[in-house]
């Protein structure tokens, strides 16, 4: 499942299933506990043989009920299991209380006490089943201290203790991927897991913020909920609806590509083999002398992404410099916004502005000219306008002026700093309990166009609420992508993929560009610099269908 659920959406799925009579809460809890044990044994097959010891820390809600099931299933395998309850047994929800009582038939439940926990024999497996989805407050100090991964050193000797979290490491907000800091107590303790088991589907916090780092390996366990599958609600080739967010996966990246890049694409093949103009003409605006490198990288990325032709538009005094670097990419003088309005004709299907363009009134005027351009008598769609870097910063003092001009064929691609200049009330320091998905949705509504907020957890949103997350973490982690110019290349890729008249939905094209951008960096590896990215794209395309 590619959908990223919020805590409230997950509760709604469970409640609907229970109220329909299809399943009981007790059955779901049993399936969850059994599934968590199976996932742990799959990750650590050495635990399948012989006798082992586990410490299971259960919480005061249904997450704790899952913990009691886990304890029982491990005991059935001959394990020694120490079980602690953080909370009052008399206030446990009914299903959790039932599983508490089932465990009592074969073992003890000890009340939470730090000294008691550290007095236990060293466990092979530490199970955090305290708080799962829905927690938005800081952990109590005593619990945070016990769950702090550094406290495992209290047990001396032996192999590293394996840490299993149910839903998430307790304390992680599964809507935001952040850990609420305790008021007046400095930074929160660090609770993390080697393996996190999620039920039914991934939650947003598994892929946002600190979630990917703290959760470790995340495995989704099917507990038999039949809710509408995300693939039916968010079909490939269309953006998710207003209530949904999805994870960008290869399927969503492959299908918006032009047919000549990947024959399996959903986009209809143009007549015959096609003319270069059938695949779109991208105009990339460049800065003055000494500032053209960013635009040239964006232009090369646009051409490698499948655009039929690409032209760099630069000030007259920068023509010679750019001519020394460009071959397949065309070049034309463009002195100012008035010249841009004259140059951009009906054959230009995509315009990229910002990389190396400079900050100020001239750039604002260029952006306005690009956003004002509409297709003429030849028909077709209005050109896509991709705004990055200086094109965004130039509106830092008057963001409303940009939003008033932006239209549905516009994509804004800020990093966190640029985002804060345009949307100061949605900046990281101002978000509170809002997730990164929430704030990018709000930004897209305000700007009236697609907004892409870059980062390891890149979020894309369109007006009306459809959103997706690309997570460059775990197996897709590419720390070497944090290099100057990488964002310029991404802007060019979006412009190039969006250029054909037959291009898919602009939101889907943006998803594809983000996935390809990361994949190119993954294939290159450490040592990457931004100008390597466009030339890695043919290698990425060659893997499709393999």
Only one residue has tokens 């946002």, namely 208
CA angle 150, 156, 157 (to 5 degrees): 115
Q: How confident is the model at residue 338 (pLDDT cuts 50, 70, 90)?
A: very high
Residue 268 has pLDDT above 80, yes or no: no
Element (H, E) at 163: strand 162-166
Residue 153's pLDDT is: 80
Q: How confident is the model at residue 340 (pLDDT cuts 50, 70, 90)?
A: very high
Q: Which two tokens stand for residue 386?
A: 């991709």
Q: What is the mean pLDDT of residues 18-29?
A: 93
On whether the 245-542 domain is CATH 3.30.360.10, my answer is no
| Short-list 203, 38, 19, 26, CA closest to 100 | 26
Residue 231 has pLDDT above 70, yes or no: no
Q: How confident is the model at residue 481 (pLDDT cuts 50, 70, 90)?
A: very high
CATH architecture of 7-227: 3-Layer(aba) Sandwich (3.40)
Element (H, E) at 387: strand 384-387
Query: What does the pLDDT look like over 31-84, one tens digit per residue?
Result: 999 999 999 999 999 999 988 999 999 999 999 999 999 999 999 999 999 999
Residue 278's pLDDT is: 76
| Short-list 334, 359, 321, 339, CA closest to 284 | 334
Query: What does the pLDDT look like over 358-383, one tens digit per residue?
Result: 999 999 999 999 999 988 665 578 89
- In this structure, what DSSP letter does residue 189 have? P
Residue 197's pLDDT is: 98
Query: What does the pLDDT look like over 144-170, one tens digit per residue?
Result: 999 998 888 888 877 889 999 999 999
Residue 329's pLDDT is: 96
Residue 201's pLDDT is: 93
Query: What does the pLDDT look like over 284-336, one tens digit per residue?
Result: 999 999 999 999 999 999 999 989 999 999 999 999 999 999 999 999 999 99
HEC sequence for 261-281: CCCCCCCCCCCCCCCHHHHCE
Residue 546's pLDDT is: 52
Q: Please spell the DSSP secondary structure of 489-546, one letter per residue.
A: HHHHHHHHHH-STT---HHHHHHHHHHHHHHHHHHH-TT--GGGHHHHHHHHHHTTT-
Q: How confident is the model at residue 182 (pLDDT cuts 50, 70, 90)?
A: low
Query: What does the pLDDT look like over 504-533, one tens digit per residue?
Result: 789 999 999 999 999 999 999 999 999 999
Q: Phi and psi dihedrals of 274, rounded to 5?
A: 85, 150
Residue 18's pLDDT is: 92
Where in the sequence of the chain do the CATH 3.40.1190.20 domains occur?
245-542
Q: How far is residue 246's CA from residue 479's CA, in Å, rounded to a whole number?
A: 23
Intra-chain end-to-end CA distance of the chain, in Å:
22
Residue 233 has pLDDT above 70, yes or no: no
Strands 457-461, 467-471: pairing is: antiparallel
- Of residues 384 and 231, the one with the higher pLDDT is 384
Q: How confident is the model at residue 501 (pLDDT cuts 50, 70, 90)?
A: confident
Q: How far is residue 121's CA from residue 143's CA, in Å, rounded to a whole number?
A: 19
Residue 459's pLDDT is: 98
Percent of the chain surpassing pLDDT 90: 75
Q: What is the mean pLDDT of residues 264-291?
A: 75
Q: Which of 9-13, 344-348, 502-506, 535-539 has the lowest mean pLDDT?
A: 502-506
Name the average pLDDT for the chain. 90
Element (H, E) at 13: helix 7-19
Q: Which of 13-22, 143-152, 247-256 has the lowest mean pLDDT?
A: 247-256
Strands 384-387, 348-353: pairing is: parallel
Q: How far is residue 303's CA from residue 518's CA, in Å, rounded to a whole number?
A: 18
Where in the sequence of the chain do the CATH 3.40.50.10260 domains occur?
7-227
Q: How confident is the model at residue 228 (pLDDT cuts 50, 70, 90)?
A: very low
Residue 266 has pLDDT above 90, yes or no: no
Residue 267 has pLDDT above 50, yes or no: no
| Beta strand spans in 258-368 (E) | 281-285, 309-314, 330-333, 348-353
- Of residues 152 and 484, the one with the higher pLDDT is 484
Q: How confident is the model at residue 180 (pLDDT cuts 50, 70, 90)?
A: confident
Residue 257 has pLDDT above 80, yes or no: no
Rounded to an integer, what is the distance from CA 35 to the centroid of its chain? 26
Query: What does the pLDDT look like over 403-445, one tens digit per residue?
Result: 999 999 999 999 999 999 999 999 988 888 899 999 999 999 9
Residue 273 has pLDDT above 70, yes or no: no
Q: How far is residue 4's CA from residue 246's CA, in Å, rounded to a whole number?
A: 5
Q: Supply the pTM of this predicted model.
A: 0.92
Q: What is the mean pLDDT of residues 228-236?
A: 47
Residue 189 has pLDDT above 90, yes or no: no
Q: How confident is the model at residue 240 (pLDDT cuts 50, 70, 90)?
A: confident
Residue 263's pLDDT is: 55
């Amino acid at each position: 499942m590619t959908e990223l659920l919020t805590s409230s959406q997950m509760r709604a799925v469970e409640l609907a299933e229970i109220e329909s009579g299809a399943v009981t809460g007790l059955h779901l809890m049993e399936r969850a506990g059994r599934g968590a044990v199976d996932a742990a044994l799959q990750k650590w097959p050495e635990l399948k043989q012989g006798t082992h010891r586990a410490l299971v820390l259960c919480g005061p809600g249904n997450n704790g009920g899952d913990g009691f099931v886990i304890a029982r299933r491990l005991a059935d395998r001959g394990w020694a299991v120490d079980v602690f309850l953080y909370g009052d047994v008399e206030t446990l929800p009914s299903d959790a209380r039932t599983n508490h009582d089932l465990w009592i038939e074969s073992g003890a439940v000890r009340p939470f006490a730090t000294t008691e926990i550290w007095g236990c024999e060293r466990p092979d497996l530490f199970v955090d089943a305290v708080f799962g989805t829905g927690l938005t407050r800081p952990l109590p100090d005593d619990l945070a201290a016990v769950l702090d991964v550094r406290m495992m050193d209290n047990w001396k000797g032996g192999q590293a203790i394996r840490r299993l979290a149910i839903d998430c490491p307790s304390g992680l907000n599964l809507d935001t991927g952040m850990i609420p800091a305790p008021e007046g107590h400095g930074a929160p303790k660090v609770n993390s897991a080697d393996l996190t088991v999620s039920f039914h589907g991934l939650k947003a916090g598994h892929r946002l913020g600190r979630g990917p780092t703290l959760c470790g390996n995340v495995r989704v366990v099917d507990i038999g909920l039949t809710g509408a599958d995300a693939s039916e609600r968010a079909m490939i080739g269309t953006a998710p609806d207003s209530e949904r967010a999805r994870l960008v996966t290869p399927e969503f990246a492959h299908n918006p590509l032009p047919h000549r890049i990947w024959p399996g694409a959903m986009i209809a093949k143009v007549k015959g083999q096609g003319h270069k103009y059938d695949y779109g003409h991208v105009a990339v605006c460049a800065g003055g002398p000494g500032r053209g490198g960013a635009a040239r990288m964006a232009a090369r990325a646009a051409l490698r992404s499948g655009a039929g032709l690409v032209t760099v538009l630069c000030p007259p005094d920068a023509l010679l410099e750019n001519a020394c670097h460009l071959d397949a990419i065309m070049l034309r003088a463009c002195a100012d916004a008035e010249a841009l309005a004259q140059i951009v004709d009906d054959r230009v299907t995509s315009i990229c502005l910002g990389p190396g363009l400079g900050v100020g009134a001239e750039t604002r005027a260029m952006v306005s000219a690009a956003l004002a351009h509409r297709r003429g008598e030849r028909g077709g769609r209005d050109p896509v306008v991709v705004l990055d870097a200086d094109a965004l910063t130039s509106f830092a003092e008057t963001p409303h002026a940009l939003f008033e001009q932006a239209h549905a064929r516009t994509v804004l691609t800020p990093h966190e700093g640029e985002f804060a200049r345009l949307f100061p009330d949605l900046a990281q320091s101002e978000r509170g309990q809002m997730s990164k998905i929430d704030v990018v949705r709000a930004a897209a509504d305000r700007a009236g166009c697609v907004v892409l907020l870059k980062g390891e957890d890149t979020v894309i949103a369109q007006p009306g609420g459809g959103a997706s997350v690309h997570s460059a973490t775990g197996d897709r982690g590419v720390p070497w992508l944090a290099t100057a110019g990488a964002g310029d290349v991404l802007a060019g890729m979006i412009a190039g993929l969006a250029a054909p008249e037959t291009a898919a939905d602009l939101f889907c094209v943006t998803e594809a560009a983000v996935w390809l951008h990361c994949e190119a960096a993954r294939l290159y590896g450490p040592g990457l610099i931004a100008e390597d990215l466009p030339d890695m794209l043919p290698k990425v395309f060659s893997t499709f269908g393999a």
